[in-house]
Structure 1
Amino acid sequence: MAKINGNEIRPGYILDHDGGLWAAVKVDHVKPGKGGAFAQVELRNLRIGTKLNERFRSADKVDRVELERKDQQFLYESEGMLVVMDTDSYEQTELPADLLGDRRPFLQDGMTVVVEYYEAEALNATLPPKVTCRIAETEPVVNGQTAAKSFKPALLENGVRVMVPPFVGPGEEIIVNTETMEYSARA
């Protein structure tokens, strides 16, 4: 672990703080009129998901943790556990399904996910930024609705609802951004 000053914290950094592993979600550098500058940091616990707001002065030292990132291929789901295979060693590992959170429906067979490990513990899993999905149902187009940029609701085959442009119909494949969970383009 590397020691860094409190003013060097950036969003995305993983910190060992108060006996837990925390991800810096949001960082605001504040220079009050009186007193020294500090960084107001919003932290999220990687193990239990709680949030914490903390102030770090430039003289404060914190431990920055580097997580090991591995590309792993999703094989199948069994009893709430995702079975993934390391693409280098072909070793299979079980991960809790809630590691993906609300992006879980976008996981497809054979998809490569990036799993972040601290020692031997999996703390985070990331899907590819864009995924191709098929539309199960959507509303028909209403004539005259194209004067302004408009969207209509659509239900994907994986059960997720997204807003799509009026020209997209049922049975078509679209590309969905997994970070924002929004329509990106036609496939």
Structure 2
Amino acid sequence: MKINGNEIRPGNVIEHQGGLWAAVKVNAVKPGKGPAYAQVELKNLEDGRKLNERFRAAETIERVRLEQKDHTYLYAEGDMLVFMDSESYEQISIPKDMIGERVAFLQDGMAVVVESHEGRPIGVQLPEQVTLEVVETEPTVKGQTASSSYKPAIADNGLRIMIPPYMTVGEKIVVNTETMEYVKRAD
């Protein structure tokens, strides 16, 4: 689907320089002299490279629609992760580096969304938040509960996370999978 250069929005996936790129940030610029343009920060969906491009309103860009299918995470096999299509029960393998450091959040049976283009997987969307258990942290210091400083902790998936000072080992916490930060105490 063709769109004009000034119609690009954050989250759009476009075909550019022979690859697939996601628009991360878009800034409309109207200089005093010359035509207006969109300053777009792009991220390559295959290798993660970043690129800043200017698109004039007169330019046409190919916008790509990604197929999104629900999958279930099954297990890791070497450098590959195995997922099962929730409808057809067909299994696919995706390289770990496609998810990057967020691979630590994957749990057996977790529901994810696999994005693909022309039948080829190019991304995996994890749930926005996951529940983890604190397995190691510093002991609580009396009188420190009023302080807004956080202390380091290690979750059951091996991830280092900063948590409030009053929390102890064995407590369940909710962590944001995008920012990799503590959100709240789990219910």
Match of 2:79 in 1: 80
Match of 1:173 in 2: 172
Match of 2:130 in 1: 131
Match of 1:69 in 2: 68
| Percent identity over paired residues | 60
The 3-state SS of whatever aligns with 1:15 is strand
Distance 2:129 2:48 in 1: 25
1:108-127 to structure 2, matched below 5 A, reads 108-127=107-126
- Pick which of 62-71 and 143-152 moved more: 143-152
Distance 2:63 2:120 in 1: 17
Mapped contact 2:144–2:166 kept (Cα < 8 A): no
Q: Deviations over 1:29-71 (max 9, x none)?
A: 1011111110001111111221111110100000000000011
Q: Per-residue deviation at 1:98?
A: 1.2
Residue 103 (1) aligns with residue 102 (2): yes
Match of 2:88 in 1: 89
TM-score (normalised: structure 1) = 0.96
Q: Per-residue deviation at 1:148?
A: 3.3
Q: Deviations over 1:81-133 (max 9, x none)?
A: 11110000011111111111111101000001111000111111011011011
Distance 2:175 2:18 in 1: 38
Q: Where does structure 2 lack aligned partners over 5 or more consecutive residues?
A: none
Distance 1:175 1:147 in 2: 21
The 3-state SS of whatever aligns with 1:22 is strand
- Pick which of 106-115 and 17-26 moved more: 17-26
Match of 1:19 in 2: 18
Count of residues in Structure 1 that have an aligned counterpart in Structure 2: 186
The 3-state SS of whatever aligns with 1:62 is strand
The 3-state SS of whatever aligns with 2:27 is strand
Match of 1:161 in 2: 160
Supply the AA of the counterpart residue of 1:167.
Y
Q: Deviations over 1:129-150 (max 9, x none)?
A: 1101111100111122233322
Match of 1:142 in 2: 141
The 3-state SS of whatever aligns with 2:153 is strand
Which consecutive aligned stretches of 4+ in structure 1 deviate over 3 angstroms post-superposition? Answer: none
The 3-state SS of whatever aligns with 2:62 is strand
